[in-house]
Amino acid sequence: MDFDISDLESQDNYRLLNGGVTPRPIAWISTRSQAGVDNLAPYSFFTVASCNPPVLLYTQVTQRSGIEKDTLQNLKETGECVVNIVGSSLLEKMNSTSAPLDSDVSEFEHAGIEHTASKKVNALSVKHSPIRYECHLREVISLGGLPAGGTIVLLDVKSVYVRDDLYVDGVINQQLVDTVGKMGGNDFNVDANIVECIRP
């Protein structure tokens, strides 16, 4: 079945993109507002943008209300965040932080998530996240303000935490990371089988 994008509504496009580009890693982003409220929210439109310099990229999809999410607002105000990688043991807690809470409510407290101080930024880190990237805001690029439009956020990586048992012979052991992937709808990919293919 072929789809002509010009014939589709934005929600149809969303389902085709969200359901086909899978699995996607999840950036569980922690920020702190200027008022001192610690925010934590998951974003599955997430990847590495550059390794030299080290830059991460996530996209915030514009809500139907048009209101900016707390994460982006806090980033614009403070310029700091932590990207926490989600292992399968954190799946339920991560999902609970996607609830639409008021900006003066901390997701850490709401979901009972243990935190720890970060090294280079004021935003808290998720204590049991296996890998964490402490970042400064580099650039915000708006692709459109309409519902389901996107805002690209580029983050300069300033510090990386890797759990000791995951770092083996100078690399992150992919068999042990146990990263959760986002599928379409409400589905997640966990306990994936990893197959090694040597590049030709």
Which pTM does this prediction carry?
Answer: 0.94
Helix (H, G, I), strand (E, B) or coil at 27: strand
pLDDT digits (tens, 9 = 90+) for 46-99: 999 999 999 999 999 876 665 668 999 999 999 999 999 999 999 999 999 999
User: Using the 8-state DSSP alphabet, how is residue 56 labeled?
Assistant: E
Q: What are phi and psi of 195, to 5 degrees?
A: -115, 125
Yes or no: say if 125 and 116 are a contact pair by the CB < 8 Å rule: yes
Domain ranges of the chain: 5-189
Residue 170 has pLDDT above 90, yes or no: yes
Tell me what the mean pLDDT of segment 5-21 comes to: 87
Q: In whole angstroms, what separates CA 30 from the centre of its chain? A: 9
Residue tagged 């300033």 (tokens): 158
Whether 155 and 140 have beta carbons less than 8 Å apart is answered as no
Residue 114's nearest CA partner among 92, 145, 86, 93 is: 93
Distance CA 188, CA 182 (A): 5
Question: In whole angstroms, what is the distance from residue 3 CA to residue 13 CA?
Answer: 9
Q: Which residue has the higher pLDDT, 144 or 112?
A: 112
How does strand 171-172 pair with strand 167-168? antiparallel
Determine the pLDDT at residue 75: 97
Are 78 and 122 in contact, with CB atoms under 8 Å apart? yes
Within 10 angstroms of residue 122's Cβ, the number of other Cβ atoms is 14
Mean pLDDT score, 98-114: 93
> In this structure, which topology does domain 5-189 adopt according to CATH?
Pnp Oxidase; Chain A (2.30.110)
**Number of other residues whose CB lies within 10 A of the CB of residue 90:** 21
| pLDDT for position 52 | 97
